[in-house]
Amino acid sequence: MTPKDRILLHQIHPAKLATDVGSGVLCLYFLWQHRLPIAVLIAAIPPLVASGLLLRFADLEALQWSALGVYVCRHMTPAMQAVRLCGFLAMAGGAWYHTPLAIVGGLVVVASGWLKGVIFA
């Protein structure tokens, strides 16, 4: 497996998904409270640590041949990763400005980034 494949596939490991979702929710909570430093730390550190540990120690071979792994390898392009990031930034802005509709809209953008192959197939 190439390093590029490992970097892509570690994103669907259950530990990475749980870390990203959990840190994202906590980040939005602290942004809502206008506690920017803690929000940035929560958004950055746990996902980076999880990525580092998974890329170093996890056996990602099984994920490569799973249905989700095949889907991600086919449809999770750098552009779709940018779409997901933009969706999270919209959610962050919505949390900062107390705009629930922006949070929901950002969530829809993130979901569309993940589901590109299903929506536009």
Q: Where are the domains of the chain?
A: 3-119
Q: Hey, is 97 helix, strand or coil?
A: coil
- Contact status, residue 63 vs residue 12, Cβ threshold 8 Å: yes
pLDDT, tens digit (0-9, with 9 covering 90-100), for 6-41:
999 999 999 999 999 999 999 999 999 999 999 999
Nearest-angstrom CA–CA distance, 73 and 68: 9
pLDDT, tens digit (0-9, with 9 covering 90-100), for 76-89:
999 999 999 999 99
